[in-house]
A and B are shown apart, each in its own frame.
Chain A
């Protein structure tokens, strides 16, 4: 398992578009410059993102203080289907 990182964190908060994904949802949004915590709060109610859904950029795990950069693809991981 990869370790948690600040891969998305940058000293300057560049604003602009980035992509956010969670399960069946995927949407370019004006989230660059915001932290993972802020994005989670913004989308948790409309998409149902749980508090324990880990955020990733590629294989890099992003902590709650990481700041999203323009053009990044941020994914909150959705638990897989269990039953069958």
Chain B
């Protein structure tokens, strides 16, 4: 089946009415991203027809990723995932961007082996961003770019090598932060302890260990994010469960309200 993709150079030209259709940008098509993509594309197809799902990842799917990641063939993760989804979901425009996201000050090399896209060239007003990469540095780039816009939602999530995970929802409306930038509570977003793979060489990237993550935790992060999208985007309700921590090992989850309105109140028990 012939699959026609919109070129990534046309990203900024995918005009959407934000009330009737959405532009979802999924950054990271790996252990969390591939499962999240399956949910997001279905949500767009039925709740917001004629929307766009943009999948961004400069990495390549290899056989060793198969235990936790949902692909049917080898190749660039964004392109392979988009190729799988396009024939199944005709009401959604699916755009692969086979590039690494870097910040606006990036001054390194962007060649064919390591193509880059600046965060500010990727996202725009009214987008819904899903930052499900495997490092804080790339997440910070996306949050910081989003913070410069007036109307934006950024969902992120991650996990450890066992059964712990967390998600966060950053939201701005009409230039006002509804929920706090995660750096206000998390020093790991303020000064990331890791490096953005997009700013490393191919050799340096190949030396990064994938760790021993678990499929169940990856899928749980994707499910928690999808649940927040259902509540705050589809049903347009308050993002008061801004941050959620969970531990599948002990069967617990706990929501935290990071809305500015709540943080300024005196909380009592």
Contact = CB atoms under 8 A, between A and B. Distances in A.
**Interface of chain B, helix or strand or loop or mixed?**
mixed
Interface string A65-76: 000000111010
B164 A2 contact: no
Contacts of A79: 186, 188
A77 B185 contact: yes
B183 A1 contact: yes
A46 interface: no
A28 B269 contact: yes
B100 to A, nearest CB: 15
Contacts, number: 103
Contacts of B213: 83-84
**Interface of chain A, helix or strand or loop or mixed?**
loop
Interface residues of A, number: 28
B28 A84 contact: yes
Nearest to B211: A83
Question: Most chain-B CB neighbours within 10 Å: which of A25, A79, A80?
Answer: A80
Given A24-B245, A82-B160, A58 B267 contact: yes
A23 B168 CA distance: 13
Contacts of A72: 267-269
